[in-house]
């Protein structure tokens, strides 16, 4: 991966982090405790609790992705960045641009 590609990737990661911060804030709001008398229109409290569970899972996924993006941003200058953590082969730039937080190639990811 050349310096131009690394710079492009860095910008892309920073953009994704900015978007994720907004998503996480929104999901944190959606996962606040449901009050016992919460009923809006036809939505029952049980439906609200169910939606809260879905939002909690989405929040956990968003936080995990954020951690991966922050790790990728920290490691982008390392000489090992862009190489599979399992087989040590170079990860194709297309995969890195699509999933910058990934530290394994497609082949190794499919085996796992």
| Residue 10 belongs to domain spanning | 3-79
Whether the predicted pLDDT of 89 surpasses 90: yes
Q: Tally the domains of the chain.
A: 1
Instruction: Output the CA torsion 57→58→64→65 (10° steps).
Output: 160
User: What mean pLDDT comes out for the span 24-53?
Assistant: 78
In a domain, residue 109? The reply is no
Whether the predicted pLDDT of 38 surpasses 90: no
In a domain, residue 86? The reply is no
> What secondary structure does DSSP assign to 75-97, as a single string?
HTTSTTTTB-TTT-PBPPHHHHH
Contact of 50 with 34, CB cutoff 8 Å? no
Report residue 43: phi and psi, to 5°: -80, 120
Question: How high does pLDDT run on average in the chain?
Answer: 90
Q: Other C-beta atoms within 10 Å of 104: how many? A: 19
pLDDT value at residue 43: 60
In a domain, residue 52? The reply is yes
User: What mean pLDDT comes out for the span 39-47?
Assistant: 65
pLDDT value at residue 50: 85
What pTM was computed for the model?
A: 0.83
Whether the predicted pLDDT of 97 surpasses 70: yes
């Amino acid at each position: 991966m050349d310096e131009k590609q690394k710079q492009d990737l860095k910008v892309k990661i920073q953009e994704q982090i900015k978007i994720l911060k907004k998503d996480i804030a929104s999901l944190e709001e959606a996962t606040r405790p449901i009050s016992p008398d919460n009923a809006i229109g036809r939505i029952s409290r049980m439906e609200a609790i169910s939606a809260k569970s879905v939002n909690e899972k989405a929040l956990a996924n968003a936080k995990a992705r954020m951690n991966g993006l922050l790790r990728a941003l920290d490691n982008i200058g390392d000489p090992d960045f862009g190489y599979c953590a399992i087989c040590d082969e170079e990860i194709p730039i297309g995969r890195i641009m699509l999933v910058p937080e990934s530290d394994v190639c497609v082949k190794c990811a499919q085996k796992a």
